[in-house]
Structure 1
Amino acid sequence: MIKRRDFLINSGLALGALAIAPSFAFTTKKRPIGIQLWTLRDTLPKDVKGVLAQVGKVGFNEVETFGYSPKNGFFGTSVKDFKSMLCDNGLKATSNHFDFNGYIENGSTESLKSYIETANILGSEYVTVPYILQNLRGKSIDDYKKLALKINQAAEICKASGLKLAYHNHDFEFEKFESTTGYEILLNNTDKNLVDFEMDLYWVVRSGNNPLQLFKDHPGRFKMWHVKDMDKINPSFNAEIGTGSIDFKAIFAEAELSGMKRFFLEHESNYKPNPIESAAISYNYIKNNLI
């Protein structure tokens, strides 16, 4: 199985139910249910057309892509053909995870131009920073401020092409620097009119933090979510939504405070019984209990 960090690089704290009461009710009815295609990373590269058909059959409306290469498109499928396959199955790629490590390391915008072109062909809204390599992560407050500056600069380029830039977190962003964290530095030093955040709820909880508190501290910044549950026994494993230790009902009740416009189911490990059927179980829970 490919690991996310092995893909981009050589790319426990199990919390119980989150128990902060919602400040006001909010419904996500009529919002589409998306899936981060990394969930299907073992099968998608082998059969792009067939796996996208499975995704549409489950009932998903949106996808978030991964694995794009300027030379090979999506696993050997051109961007235009990929879009056609999405359309054939009632899907739209509203966000895309692109590798920003080269840009962060040397400031070259060549790859960013390719990402923007791809996102616009797909009719996407977001170009998303998915993961920062360990050697490029901030080791100090100043490092994270410099990272925030580069993110702002990339976001300006995206805006000029009609796109938004978003930043997706893991757990390393929550490393403490004096009285703050890398994540707080990014939130406070990126332009809220240019940069949105895609909160990976699993990684926030696993890092020992509370999504609801972050919503309160930074209202409206988290326009996208990754909805991914945590296994009750082994927090390094995922679980089908509704069977793990994260209280998604409490989180979805604060969607308006968060600023959430869309979300993507993601499942990275411990599938039951297999990736697409596991995704279908989670989809049905979301549809019947959360929106």
Structure 2
Amino acid sequence: MIKRREFLINTGLALGALAIAPSFAFDSKKKAIGIQLWTLRDTLPKDVKGVLSQVAKAGFCEVETFGYSADKGFFGTSVRDFKMILDDNDLKATSNHFDFNSMIKDGSTNLVQNYIETANLLGSEYVTVPYIVSELRGTTGDAYKKLALQINKVGELCKAGGLKLAYHNHDFEFTKFGSTNGYEILLNETDKNLVDFELDLYWVVRSGNDPLQLFKKYPGRFKMWHVKDMDKVNPDWNAEIGTGTINFKSIFAEAKLSGMKRFFLEHESNYKPNPIESAATSFNYIKKNLI
């Protein structure tokens, strides 16, 4: 994940006419509260076992991984040992952020097959594309169309491996190309039977867009969310959920329209005062107010 650009955004979501009941009434089973482990990036690599124990004690039951290496596993912990630690703490890695930049650059699928094997060993549902470097996503609409073709290829491999592929956004995907933008191109050019989208709500709002409008235009495409708030003073910073500027109650009220099946809390920048304590505060707000 990358350092964020300066770009002040008016975060009003034009939600006055929408019902904002914080409920998943469309689903008799409440959604699990997951955490993207990037939230704990300063502590997890130093103590995988201890930090995952803290995650479970905070109440989380699902995690989304990051930092996997084909050579070193998860921060020096093998995939099998990582899975054992998850199991010991009643945690499930339902999604994994893997680096696809080398595959998109050279077309080799060897690493993709390794990711699929890893995800299956973990008992995951999703393999997720977290971030595409600037040289590969290009600066034109055509470049995004080519990127979509590559993503479809990965989606086919994931489907053959019994998994689903998702694409996670930042704000740069919303760069305009005439009457459209990079994110719309990806939504339109990827096969909905092969590619789902993990909508990062903060980055949508940060880019000046409205998640609810995306839900209406592309219903059912956003099977996963990243839930992180925007600091009231400095929009470059995240805030504990419920203390920032994003109206999550209105967004969660439209979860069915979105297609959302699961979500992950994430603190990406300026989390304080303590990473796990801050995550626990956000967890408690979500549990009490949003699901």
TM-score, normalised to structure 1's length? 0.94
1:155-194 correspondence to structure 2 within 5 Å: 155-194=155-194
* Cα distance, 1:269 vs structure 2: 1.7
What per-residue deviation string (whole Å, max 9, x for no partner) do you get for residues 240-270 of structure 1?
0000000000000000000000000000122
Match of residue 255 from structure 2: 255
> Within 5 Å, which residues of 2 pair with 1:16-27?
16-20=11-15, 21-22=17-18, 27=24
CA contact (8 A) 2:35 2:63 kept: yes
Cα distance in 2 between the residues matched to 1:157 and 1:22: 39
User: Is 1:5–2:2 an aligned residue pair?
Assistant: yes
Partner SS state of residue 63, structure 2? strand
How is 1:1-291 mapped onto 2 (pairs within 5 angstroms)?
Answer: 4-5=1-2, 12-20=7-15, 21-22=17-18, 27=24, 30-291=30-291
| Whole-angstrom distance in 2 between the partners of 1:167 and 1:32 | 20
How far the C-alpha of 1:181 sits from its partner, in A, is 0.1
- For the 8 Å contact 2:230–2:245, the answer to whether it is kept is yes
Q: 1:252 to 1:22 in 2, by over 3 A?
A: same
Distance 1:142 1:240 in 2: 38
- List gaps (5 residues or longer) in structure 2: none
Match of 2:225, SS state, is: strand
CA–CA distance in structure 1, aligned partners of residues 20 and 195 of structure 2:
26
- 8 Å Cα contact 1:166/1:195 also seen in 2: yes
Q: Matched residues, percent identical?
A: 75
Name 1:9's counterpart in structure 2: none
Task: Name the SS for the 2:215 alignment partner.
Answer: helix
Contact 1:38 1:268 in 2 (8 A): yes
TM-score, normalised via structure 2 length: 0.94
User: Could you tell me which amino acid in structure 1 is paired with residue 211 of structure 2?
Assistant: P
CA contact (8 A) 1:170 1:200 kept: yes
Q: Given that residues 221 and 258 in structure 1 are in contact (C-alpha distance below 8 angstroms), is that contact kept between their aligned partners in structure 2?
A: yes
Equivalent residue of 1:186, what SS?
A: helix
Number of paired residues? 283
Deviates more, 1:27-36 or 1:119-128: 27-36
Note the C-alpha offset of 1:14.
3.8
User: What amino acid is aligned across from residue 13 of structure 1 in structure 2?
Assistant: L
Q: In 2, distance between residues paired with 1:23 and 1:143?
A: 39
Structure 1, gaps ≥5 residues long: 7-11
- Counterpart Cα distance in 1 of 2:18 and 2:258: 11
Q: Within 1, Cα distance between the matches of 2:178 and 2:30?
A: 43
Q: Distance in 2 between matches of 1:85 and 1:53?
A: 8
Distance 1:196 1:87, change over 3 A: same
Aligned residues of 2:20 and 2:249 also touching (Cα < 8 A): no
SS at 2:2 equivalent? helix
* Contact residue 228 and residue 265 of structure 1 kept, 8 A: yes
Paired residue secondary structure (2:35): strand
Contact 1:145 1:186 in 2 (8 A): yes
What are the Cα deviations for residues 148-205 of structure 1, in whole angstroms up to 9, with x where unaligned?
Answer: 0110011001000100000000000000001100000000000011100000000000
1:112-154 C-alpha deviation (Å, 9 max, x unpaired): 0110000000000000000001111132111111100110011
Q: What per-residue deviation string (whole Å, max 9, x for no partner) do you get for residues 9-54 of structure 1?
A: xxx3243442324479751652110000000000000000000000
Q: Is the 8 A contact 1:14 1:245 kept in 2?
A: no
Aligned counterparts of 2:148 and 2:285: Cα–Cα separation in 1: 36
Kept after mapping to 2: 8 A contact 1:15/1:245: no
Task: Find the aligned partners of 2:11 and 2:186 in 1 and give their Cα distance.
Answer: 27
> Against the structure 1 CA distance between its residues 243 and 14, is the aligned structure 2 distance closer, same or farther, given a 3 Å change threshold?
farther
